[in-house]
Every structure is written in structure tokens, then in C-alpha cells.
Amino acid sequence: MRLSSYAELEARFARIGAVQDAAAVLHWDAATLMPAGGAGARAEQLATLRVIAHEMLADAAMPDLFAGAAAQLDLGDWQRANLAEMRRLWLHATAVPGDLVAALSKACSAAEMRWRQARPAGDFAAMLGDLKRVLALVRDTAAAKAARLGKSPYEALLDEYEPGGSTAAIDLLFDDLARRLPALIERALERQASLPAPLPLPGPFPVEAQRRLAVALMRHLGFDFEHGRLDDSLHPFCGGTPEDVRLTTRYDEADVGRAVMGVLHETGHALYELGLPSAWRRQPVGGARGMSIHESQSLLVEMQACRSREFAEFAAPLLRQTFGGGGGEWEAENLYRLNTRVARSLIRVDADEVTYPAHVILRYRLERAMIAGDLAPDDLPAAWNEAMGALIGIVPANDRDGCLQDIHWYDGLWGYFPTYTLGAMTAAQLFAAAKAADPGIPLAIASGDFAPLLAWLRANVHAKGSRYSTAELIAQATGRPLDAAAYERHLETRYLAA
């Protein structure tokens, strides 16, 4: 029996999804277990899979299938939303020739592997050639997509991660934040200095003990180890597939908070993936609704829930048991104050939530300038250091802690960074709405029960996949459009009043 146009599209996208799933697992393996000698072969494998997926999307039959599906009158709401997402992905794919897709994939694979050696050494010179190659190919990709989508080159890249995202809207939010942040950081530091300093936790913290603690916390949050695992990598991330979610973190025996908070952050991502609608698996409508929503889920878990006093009450006995601690250092209030310590730090992934937005605004402005051709890669370290001084009040002593600290640009992820702070704003608004809907959520967290919070997120965010736009999803879940009010109120309450 001949399939309808829409049914044929579903079958094709299911195959594309399977190819992309395979690439995701290979990418995880490259970042965790693969020996360095496999890098060349892995680059070829990933490039081949990405080209196959691209060719399937760009197949000559697609325009007729889209036209036929659009004319069908028997499609439900989810199917029509799926069709719209299919078309958006198809427009992105057909804007870029296959040879450019392959070239960018190979360049990113090579740059990522070199970054793994260059970053610990702080050797930006070793990365400069790779950065230039990746940037040139990204700019070619941006130009091709901009022409097809009718957007600016940067917005064409942004649309991959934040569908419908606008630089005008982001600039409005970020410029306002950038004006407020230096004073907010200063006020938070002044208030912090007026109080007795929290007691540092006495280390060392053995890696295996940290791993046991991380796994225990993941289980409390609701992570399903039948459908995922935790491993080590140089840069923490969440990857894999919704049936097989792969988390990674990095450990520091002198600082237990670095790994634990990283795991909590990535678990937020993982819970979103695990909660996506299974009925729409490997269909665009069944995927995550853009990266600002994805980041809202990780930041809601890490920042909103797991840096709260309630979480400290739950976690304190676990930490004492895991590391054999005793005394005031291990009390809940001390842990809370350690977890909400504000500092002018250099590393984004370790930053507190007061200074974190400044890290993101810095990267957003720099990547826009590089895409536009207003900032040359050779000048990136100096521009980075200048912006760090202006926004955060601290300048890195080396490029390891400066422009080499993130993997994103070297891995081809341009247009991604603004979603972190958009996600933080969304997280604050969602968490406030969840507590308003179920006032028992904070008390449940204090006892290690995250089920009420997870149930609200499942119903209001996870299960909706990409059925709605980002703006629609936020408005439905919280009763109003995204704004900075809940975010600013949260920061002021936690860091200036609490």
C-alpha cells in the first residue's frame, strides 16, 4: 500500500533520526573512551553519518512530499507541528551543500581533538589554525542558511539551537543585564563580606567517593540507570539518545562541588531527554524544544533546586556519610552558603549564578563579532580578556582559563551560547510556576524527594517535546511570556536578602 505524503515523511525522518542517534553515541565515545589514535577514523565515521543524514534530508523527493503533506486534511495537531519542524530542518539542510557539511564535520573533529591537548597547556597558538578553519566554514554555512531562511548570518546559526530566536530580543535582555550585573555582583560581594565566611570542606575527596555520591544524587533526582550512564570527560556534557542518555563530568579531589554540581546540571539535561514523548521518538516534534528550554532544565535542577537551602538540608547527611565528615563544615547552612558563594571566577562552568550571565554575554558578543568579521581569531585572547575585566572584574592569566576554556567554538557550536542565559531566565520562571502550582515542592526537596518537581516538569515541559514554540511553551507553563522579572527577583532574594 502506498504511504501518504505525510506518512512517507515520518518514515524518512525516523531513519534520519536513527543515523543521528548513531552519530551521537560515536561522539560520546570520542570524548570519553576512544584512544587518541582513533581520532582520524572517527572523524571520517562522523562525517560520513552526517553527510548521509544531510543527503536524506536534501533528497529530491522532499519538496513534493512536503507539498502533498501540507494538502492533507486528516493530520492532527501533533502531526501538523511535526510537519512544521520537518520543514524547518529541511530548510536548514538544503541551504548547505553536502561537501560543506562534510568539511565542517571533519574540521570540527580535528579541532576538538587538538583542543583536548591545547587547553590543558593553555596553548592558543596551537589552536589558532583550527579555529580559523572552523570559523571560515561556519561563516560559509551561516551565509548559505541566511540566504535560504531570510535571516542574518548569526540568526541563521542561532535558529539551529533557538528556533525563531532574534538577536534584537536577545540584545534587549542582555544589554539590560550587562548594565545591571557589575553593580549586582558588587552588592552581592559586599553583603557576603559582611557575614562570617563559610567553612571550607576539608578534603581530599577521593574520586571514587565523589562518583558514588554523584550516582546517589542522580537516583534521587529520578535518573534511570537502565537508560543511561555516567562517565568522565575533559568537558562535562550530556549526550547519547533518549533511550541511552550519556552524562559525563570531571573530578577534582580538592573540590567536591565541581563534579557534583556538574553532574546535577547534566542530570537536568538528561531528565528532559528521558521525559520526551516516546510516541514521537525519532520525529522532530518529539525532540527537545530548542536549547534555551534544554538549558532551563539543567539550570532549574542545578541552580534553582540544588543550590537551595532545602537541598542543602537533604545533601548534608549524604556528604557526611560519603566523606566521613563531622563538625560545622558539614552542616546544611554551611553547605548552602558554600553553594551560593559569589566570586569573580574565570571558568564559566564553575561560576556562581550571579556572575554566570556575564560569562555568557561575553561569549555571545565575541562570537557575533567573529561571525560578522569584526573580530579576527588572532585578536580573540585580547578581546576576551578585555571583556572579562569589564563585565566580571577579573582577567585570566593564561588562555587555558580564558578563550580556550570552552569547547563550543572549536566543535562548531556557534550561536549556542545565548541559550545558557535565556535558559537561566526560563528556569527561574518555570521553578516559580512549579512552586506556585505545588507549594510542597521545596519541602519534598528537603527530604530528597524530587518526584513532585519532576512530575510538574514532565507534564508542563518534557512531554510536550517540540509541539509548541518556545514562547508558547513558556506561556502555557507559567501563565506569561518570558521576561527577566522572576530571574532578577530570584537573584536578589537569594544573594542580597536571604
Sequence length of the chain is 498
Quick check: bond before 317 cis, omega within 30?
Answer: no
Residue 325 pLDDT: 87
What CATH number labels 168-497? 1.10.1370.30
**Tens digits of per-residue pLDDT, 417-435?**
999 999 999 999 999 999 9
Quick check: bond before 204 cis, omega within 30?
Answer: yes
Distances from the Cα of 191 to the Cαs of 131, 253, 356, 388, 498, in angstroms? 41, 30, 18, 22, 10
d(CA 434, CA 453): 7
d(CA 217, CA 206): 17
Distances from the Cα of 468 to the Cαs of 91, 156, 234, 421, 474, in angstroms? 19, 20, 35, 21, 9
**Tens digits of per-residue pLDDT, 481-493?**
988 888 989 999 9
d(CA 47, CA 412): 13
Residue 311 pLDDT: 98
Beta-bridge mates of residue 229: 246
Average pLDDT in the chain = 94
**Tens digits of per-residue pLDDT, 459-481?**
999 999 999 999 999 999 999 99
**Residue 203: which pLDDT band, with cuts at 50, 70 and 90?**
confident
Determine the average pLDDT of the residues in 41-64.
92
Distances from the Cα of 416 to the Cαs of 88, 337, 361, 384, in angstroms? 18, 31, 12, 17
Residue 426 pLDDT: 96
- Which sequence positions are flagged as catalytic? 266
As a whole-number percent, the residues of the chain with pLDDT over 70 amount to 100
Beta-bridge mates of residue 238: 247
Is the per-residue pLDDT at 121 higher than 70? yes
For residue 334, give every residue at least 6 positions away whose Cβ sits within 8 Å of its Cβ, in sequence order, or none: 198, 199, 328
Where in the chain are the domains? 5-123, 168-497
Q: Taking a C-beta distance cutoff of 8 angstroms, is the pair 410, 112 a contact?
A: yes
d(CA 460, CA 473): 8
Supply the pTM of this predicted model: 0.89
**Residue 405: which pLDDT band, with cuts at 50, 70 and 90?**
very high
Distances from the Cα of 51 to the Cαs of 54, 57, 187, 401, 434, in angstroms? 5, 10, 51, 34, 42
Residue 177 pLDDT: 85
Residue 498 pLDDT: 60
Determine the average pLDDT of the residues in 199-227.
96
**Residue 1: which pLDDT band, with cuts at 50, 70 and 90?**
low
**Residue 111: which pLDDT band, with cuts at 50, 70 and 90?**
very high
Q: Which of 218, 227, 299 is nearest to 260 (CA)?
A: 218
**Residue 146: which pLDDT band, with cuts at 50, 70 and 90?**
very high
Helix (H, G, I), strand (E, B) or coil at 224: coil
Q: From the CB of residue 479, how many other CB atoms can be counted at a distance below 10 Å?
A: 11
Helix (H, G, I), strand (E, B) or coil at 398: coil
